[in-house]
Structure 1
Amino acid sequence: MPRATHEGVIQFGDIEIEVAVLDDGQRLVTQSGFMVGLGRIRPPKGRQYYRAGANLPAFLTVQNLRPYIDENLVAAASQIEFRTKQGVKAFGYAANFLSEVCELFTRAHHAGVLKDTQRNIANRAQTIAEQLQRSGSTHLIDEATGFQEHREKKA
């Protein structure tokens, strides 16, 4: 099982998202960081996921969002099991999953299909998306975890 070598938090204004770099070089957003960052709380008993071909968190599989779920989102949705620096088993998503989810909420917002309960997520997603467009997820993760210093030393 991969292990985190670097961990940190990306700040998007008042939004914080936990991130990590694994020993195989993969950058990821932790599952809990992803959920909390978008204003969602994980279900208290186990995980709820959509099982029809994609392992998406349940809040993304509601009927009004289904038309906006594309191949890129589904491909990025695979959970990554890893161990934190402290050795605790955790789950995360590839760094691009966050930007794909932000894009989904942008498209759904522009189409006018969001419900009141989804508008907070859309607002948070917009804040995150704006910073991701300026810097990119890999750069932000490297900066938040201190991995860029390690990478520069190796080069």
Structure 2
Amino acid sequence: MPQATHQGALRFGDFEIEVAVLDNGQRVITQGGLMAGLGRIRPVKGKCRQYYRNSANLPAFLTAQNLKPFVNEDLSIIANQIEFRTKQGAKIFGYAPNFLKKICDVFARAQHAEVLKATQHNIANRAQIIAEQLERSCTMRLIDEATSYREIRETQALQNSYRREE
């Protein structure tokens, strides 16, 4: 099972989303961080199957009837949970970085179509804030900066270039 080597949080105004870089180089957005960042604060326990419906691994808030027209197969595919261990050894779940951008897109299109329920407006507002920041920088770069992994990656690249020159 992969383990986090670097952990941090993406800041979006007055809220944040926890992220990590795993020992296999994969970047992840933690499940708890995603839920809290979107204003869907629930205790994360075990495999969290109670938050998912049907065969797709979509979080329950994305399975609402009014959102179905905006949730495509691509989103369902990248919604697969990534199980990993934190630096402290706790077993948790996360998502691929591009899952966050896709969620923002779902809520933007639903808001534009004026089909959001009153309880979904807070998620849509947060998704808009996140989407605006993601337009300025890619999610992986933001994760690298939030976890201080960028400095490690740059140092490794520099060391590799020195080795090639020798």
> What is the total number of aligned residue pairs between the two structures?
154
**1:72, distance to aligned residue in structure 2 (A):** 2.2
**Could you tell me which residue of structure 2 aligns to residue 81 of structure 1?**
83
Distance 1:44 1:94, change over 3 A: closer
Conserved 8 A contact 2:6-2:20? yes
| Aligned counterparts of 1:147 and 1:87: Cα–Cα separation in 2 | 19
Tell me by how many angstroms 1:134 deviates: 0.4
Q: For 1:5-84, what aligned pairs fall within 5 Å after superposition? A: 5-42=5-42, 46=48, 47-52=50-55, 54-84=56-86
Shift of 1:75: 1.6
Q: Tell me, which stretches of 5 or more residues in structure 1 are unaligned? A: none
Give the TM-score normalised by the residue count of structure 1. Answer: 0.95
Structure 2 unaligned residues grouped into runs of 5+: 158-166
Distance 1:44 1:32, change over 3 A: closer
Aligned equivalent of 1:134: 136
CA separation in 1, counterparts of 2:60 and 2:29? Answer: 17
Q: Distance in 2 between the 1:62 and 1:99 partners?
A: 18
Shift, 1:44, TM fit: 7.3
Q: Is the 8 A contact 2:32 2:44 kept in 1?
A: no
Cα deviation digits, residues 99-144 of structure 1 (max 9, x gap):
1000000000000100010000000000000001101100100000
Q: Matched residue of 2:24: which SS?
A: coil
- 1:49-107 residue CA offsets vs partner (Å, 9 max, x unmatched): 0223x100111101000111012211210000000000000100001111100000000
| Identical amino acids, percent of aligned pairs | 65
Structure 1, residues 21-61: CA drift from partner, whole Å, max 9, x if none? 00111111000000000000226775320223x10011110
Q: CA RMSD in A?
A: 1.3
Taking the aligned partners of 1:25 and 1:70, their CA distance within structure 2 comes to 28
Higher share of residues assigned strand: 1
